[in-house]
Amino acid sequence: MSEHISKQFDAELEAIRSSVLGMAGLVEDQVRQSMEALASGDVHLINHVIEREDKVNEMHLQLDDMCIQMIARRQPAASDLRMVMTVIKSVEDLERIGDKAARICQRAKNIIEAGKLQAPRFQELRHLADLALDMLSRALDAFARLDAAPAAEVKRADNQLDIEYRSMQRQLVSIMMEDPRSISLTLDTMWIAKAIERIGDLAVNISEHVVFLVKGQDVRHKGQEEMDRVALGPKE
């Protein structure tokens, strides 16, 4: 009987983990499509991304409920409890990333309505988005493979994203100073850049949750050196 219960428990954990990866794939698509919509001015795609936010929210609530039920019924301990807690925290971050993608599309609508096909400095925005998406992909891959090593690389990549984001902000401020007529449009672009930078931050959060899951140590609010030490060191 105990072996049967153990197999059921493992199956439930795997179902939760698979559901997280399904939600992650949807969120990654949202971010990619939000940038495609911004580039193309495709209003249908913009509305599609915004509408899919409801699906992401639904998956978030379902996974929270699955985790609550797991804790109540199975009382997981040690690494199993860390898995459940990692899922709860990670799906919160994924929901927030999906929210950022939807809001990028809402800003894209403003830009299109202003008669522009692209935001100012679009190529720089595209580059920022590529960096953030790469970070998110690596964080999710680390979760899928339960590998802390690549999770540490996500935090390192965030330093470069922050540098390029600050550089772009300075460029956009200069644009507004030189041409006051561009202020409204440029502010929308600045908001999109900030949303992309926050997606990178949320990818870092997920990578930190992975390190906690695999290594049993909380690396939130720690520097890169400590993150590397824990991620590359022996398991708990």
Give the tens place of pLDDT for each residue, 165-174. Answer: 999 999 999 9
Tell me the pLDDT tens digit for each residue of 182-203.
Answer: 888 899 999 999 999 999 999 9
For the segment 133-146, the average pLDDT, to the nearest whole number, is 95
Q: Which CATH class is domain 2-232?
A: mainly alpha
Q: Does pTM surpass 0.75?
A: yes
Tell me the pLDDT tens digit for each residue of 34-57.
Answer: 999 988 889 999 999 999 999 999
Per-residue pLDDT at 4 exceeds 80: no
Q: d(Cα 36, Cα 13) in Å, to the nearest integer?
A: 35
- Per-chain mean pLDDT for the chain: 91
For the segment 125-139, the average pLDDT, to the nearest whole number, is 95
Q: d(Cα 215, Cα 231) in Å, to the nearest integer?
A: 7
